[in-house]
């Protein structure tokens, strides 16, 4: 590993956080892929510290070092809360990390991943093999369409819906942050249906975090925000919203089910599940007002 700041001999990646005057940077060891799709600029590069990094329009989506923090927390919370998830819809998530986690649950017979940008999926399969490892599994169906339109084709169909979307301000992500979209997700879920959506961070994108939560609340009777560490996303503290037609994320949670899970999990466990729903006082107060 090379220490020290020698800017002229290297390529550097800078992600600017909202409102644009601070952020994160990394030294690029090798560019693996750069392209402009119809929707966004896609970059995948090798770094010494974070492993391979996938970025869209200069915003970090996945790094090999911490992809499990985000994907495990987004996926296993709604998956473990459903009594028997068989059919799952992932919206966005083109790198494949969410699908990989969904398929750790043996009850799953089918996962549809609706990603708007086929070029993201093709690039992930080629350059992010650890994250995209399950995209060719026979239980997976890939659909290339705007998820906010696709979900409207279904009523009472999916046991779990996972929204692994870009920020509302980036690419086509905004469609996945509307009340109409969340209502369509509600309709597409079965009676015991559970739902989770990435919901930004309090520090830099608090307006969107509150917006996502309050809009999901307009569509679902049970809506709870939860948090996890996510080192390479803005502020390192990431928010997600769990929602359901009736299942409560704490009262209906079975610790035994998690303890007896046979697949390897690196972040999520039964204690983390409960702890993730414990919110700091300032955040609790803010959400009570919404």
What tokens were used for 18?
């909202």
The DSSP code sequence of 189-253 is EEEEEEEEEE---HHHHHHHHHHHHHHHHHH-SEEEEEEEE-TTSTTSEEEEEEEESS--TTTT-
164 in active site: yes
Q: Does 232 bind ligand AAT (CB under 6 A)?
A: no
Whole-number Å distance between alpha carbons of 160 and 86: 8
Of the candidate residues 43, 101, 117, 159, the single one contacting ligand AAT (CB under 6 A): 117
Whole-number Å distance between alpha carbons of 231 and 237: 7
Query: Which residues, other chains included, contact 186 with Cβ-Cβ below 8 Å and sequence gap of 6+?
Result: 193, 195, 219, 220, 243, 245
Of the candidate residues 140, 164, 197, 247, the single one contacting ligand AAT (CB under 6 A): 164
Per-residue binder mask for ligand AAT (CB under 6 A), 137-156, x = binder: ---------xxx--------
Q: Does 168 bind ligand AAT (CB under 6 A)?
A: no
Burial of 141 (0-12, 13-18, 19+ CB in 10 A): exposed
Which residues are registered as beta bridge partners of 227? 239
Candidates 43, 159, 164, 201; catalytic one: 164
Q: Does 93 bind ligand AAT (CB under 6 A)?
A: yes
Residue 149 phi/psi, 5° resolution?
A: -85, -45
Binding to ligand AAT, residues 49-68 (CB under 6 A): 56, 59, 61-62
Name the minimum Å distance from CB 211 to ligand AAT.
Answer: 15
> How many binding residues for ligand AAT (CB under 6 A)?
30
Considering only the stretches 27-35, 44-52, 99-107, 113-121, report the one whose residues sit in contact with ligand AAT under the rule CB under 6 A: 113-121
Of the candidate residues 63, 101, 167, 204, the single one contacting ligand AAT (CB under 6 A): 167
CB 105 within 8 Å of CB 265 = no
Binding to ligand AAT, residues 175-214 (CB under 6 A): 175-176, 198
Q: Does 244 bind ligand AAT (CB under 6 A)?
A: no
Query: Which residues, other chains included, contact 38 with Cβ-Cβ below 8 Å and sequence gap of 6+?
Result: 117
Q: Summarize as ranges the residues that interact with ligand AAT (CB under 6 A).
A: 56, 59, 61-62, 91-95, 97-98, 114-117, 120, 146-148, 164-167, 171-173, 175-176, 198, 233
Which segments are annotated as binding site for S-methyl-5'-thioadenosine?
A: 40, 115, 146-147
Q: What is the set of active-site residues?
A: 164
């Amino acid at each position: 590993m090379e220490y020290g700041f020698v800017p002229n001999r290297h390529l550097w990646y800078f992600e600017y956080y909202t409102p644009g005057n601070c952020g994160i940077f990394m030294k690029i060891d090798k560019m693996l892929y750069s392209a402009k799709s119809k929707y966004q600029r896609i970059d995948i590069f090798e770094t010494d510290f974070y492993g391979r990094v996938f970025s869209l329009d200069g915003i970090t989506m996945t790094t090999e070092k911490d992809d499990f923090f985000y994907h495990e927390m987004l996926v296993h919370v709604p998956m473990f809360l459903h009594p028997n998830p068989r059919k799952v819809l992932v919206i966005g998530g083109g790198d494949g990390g969410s699908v990989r986690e969904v398929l750790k649950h043996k009850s799953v017979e089918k996962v549809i991943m609706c990603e708007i940008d086929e070029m993201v999926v093709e690039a992930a399969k080629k350059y992010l093999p650890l994250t995209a490892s399950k995209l060719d599994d026979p239980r997976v169906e890939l659909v290339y369409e705007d998820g906010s339109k696709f979900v409207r084709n279904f009523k009472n169909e999916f046991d779990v819906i996972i929204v692994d979307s870009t920020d509302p301000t980036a690419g086509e992500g905004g469609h996945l942050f509307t009340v109409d979209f969340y209502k369509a997700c509600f309709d597409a879920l079965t009676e015991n249906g559970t739902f989770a959506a990435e919901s930004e961070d309090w520090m830099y994108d608090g307006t969107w975090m509150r917006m996502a939560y309050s809009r999901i609340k307009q569509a679902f009777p049970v809506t709870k925000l939860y948090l996890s560490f996510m080192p390479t996303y803005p502020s390192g503290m990431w928010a997600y919203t769990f929602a359901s037609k009736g299942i409560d994320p704490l009262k209906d949670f079975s610790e035994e089910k998690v303890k007896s899970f046979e697949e390897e999990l690196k972040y999520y466990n039964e204690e983390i599940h409960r702890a993730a729903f414990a919110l700091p006082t300032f955040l609790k107060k803010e959400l009570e007002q919404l």
